[in-house]
Copies of this chain bind each other. A is one copy, B any other.
Amino acid sequence: MAKTQPPAAALDTVDRGILRELGDNPELTNKALATRLGIAESTCAYRVRALRDNGVITGRRLDVDTRALGYPLQAVIKVRLGSHSQEHVEKLYDDLVRTPGVIQAFHVAGADDFHLYVAVEDAEALRDFVLQHVTVHRVVRQTETLLVFELREGPGVLPRDTA
């Protein structure tokens, strides 16, 4: 459970530069990053580590092409619950987020309680997924499945101010 910074941690120009450059190109080496920012390599490494220790940078993720892996079908499964007891919701969330095929699981406020972003082999596998991993939970009242044509990554958020 990651502790969240109460306010926004105070970030200076260097911190913002690191987040901007590393956001654009997460594979930059520490040396290349330092050069771009005009600071010493040791300083750069120190700052990056600090951002990590402060919980600003939480980690890295590998992007894979699910189609190339044999899972060409992507979908969003909207999950609506019957009971909303905290116990039930937590348990279901834990189970879903461990289910192979689930890429992301959004817990949202609204008529639907969860949005599951999944990748599967084909339409049959999608049907089986919903039946075997979602509606099998008795707390699930209803589901609705949307085909995902495409997912694009946006720029996300940058620290305030900087260009």
Contacts and interface: CB of A to CB of B under 8 A. Distances in A.
Interface of A: 2, 4-5, 7-9, 11, 19, 22-23, 26-27, 54-72, 76, 93, 96-110, 112, 115-119, 146-160
A82 to B, nearest CB: 18
A63 B60 contact: yes
A70 to B, nearest CB: 3
A146 B69 CA distance: 32
B104 A61 contact: no
B59 A27 contact: yes
Tell me which of A55, A68, A119, A146 has the highest count of chain B C-beta atoms within 10 A of its own C-beta.
Answer: A68
B60 A27 contact: yes
Given A62-B60, A115-B76, A157-B71, A107 B54 contact: no
Given A98-B154, A102-B154, 17 more contacts: A4-B65, A4-B72, A7-B70, A19-B64, A19-B69, A56-B64, A56-B65, A59-B63, A64-B157, A66-B157, A69-B157, A69-B160, A98-B155, A99-B155, A100-B155, A106-B150, A108-B149
